[in-house]
Amino acid sequence: MKVEDNKIYHYIENGNLQIEKIIADYSNYINTIIRNSYINLSSEDTEEVVLDVFLTIWKNQEKLDINKSMSAYISGITKNLVKYKYRQYKENQNIEEYDEKIVDTSNIEIVISQNERQNVISSELDKMKAEDREVFIEYYYDEKSIKDISKIFNMSESKVKSKLFRTRKRLGKALKKRGYGANEQ
């Protein structure tokens, strides 16, 4: 029987979930999902995601529909954990980047103004839908191309451009409302 065809009830014996059998059958499948994502995780992060998938299944075994495909559950859990790991990495990376910047105190007014603008932008981004925010961050902060972003989020390039346009427009309005002109740094 193919791994993709296995129903969850195949992994239950005497009312107990056979996690060892799931690990044996699905470890390679999870690694393949991780490799096929557009996010490059370190080997340590990959191993952590694999273990977290099995831990999630174990902790939620009472909620599993035994007539559903195990691969569907595993695929969904894996993809969500990869996205979560990516967000953690991006948050940590952004914090490290800010820590490494040296502030020129000779022109502190510009620094304060830039920080205030960044706070307005961050606040407005936090209010947006996750996908819109992530597309914007990928393009402007991570400097990914529109083509790469369309692949990451599985959407057309024109949709990516449209999301970026609407986000820029929204951020521009928020900045203007707070007294920042378009030409300010």
CA contacts within 13 A on the Cβ side of 30: 26
Residues ≥6 apart with Cβ < 8 Å to 25: 3, 6, 70
Q: Is the dihedral of CA 91, 143, 81, 167 positive or negative?
A: positive
Confidence band, pLDDT 50/70/90 cuts, at residue 1:
very low
Highest mean pLDDT among 74-78, 155-159, 174-178: 155-159
Q: What is the pLDDT of residue 101?
A: 46
According to the model, what pLDDT value does residue 185 have? 44
Residue 138's pLDDT is: 84
Among the CATH numbers 1.10.3720.10, 3.30.70.100, 1.10.10.10, 1.10.357.10, which is that of 102-177?
Answer: 1.10.10.10
Instruction: List the domain boundaries for the chain.
Output: 3-89, 102-177
Of 30-34, 60-64, 83-87, 180-184, the range with the lowest mean pLDDT is 180-184
Distance of alpha carbon 185 from alpha carbon 152, whole angstroms: 30
Question: Residue 158 above 90 pLDDT?
Answer: yes
**Choice among 1-5, 43-47, 117-121, 162-166 with the minimum mean pLDDT:** 1-5
Residue 118: pLDDT over 80: no
Is there a contact between 77 and 56 (Cβ–Cβ < 8 Å)? yes
Average pLDDT of span 110-125? 72
Which residues, other chains included, contact 19 with Cβ-Cβ below 8 Å and sequence gap of 6+?
54, 57, 58
The sign of the torsion formed by the CA atoms of 117, 120, 124, 130 equals positive
What's the whole-model pTM score? 0.47
* 1.20.150.20, 3.30.200.20, 1.10.1740.10, 3.40.190.10: CATH of 3-89: 1.10.1740.10
Tens digits of residue pLDDT in 25-70:
988 988 888 887 767 777 888 888 889 888 888 888 888 888 888 8
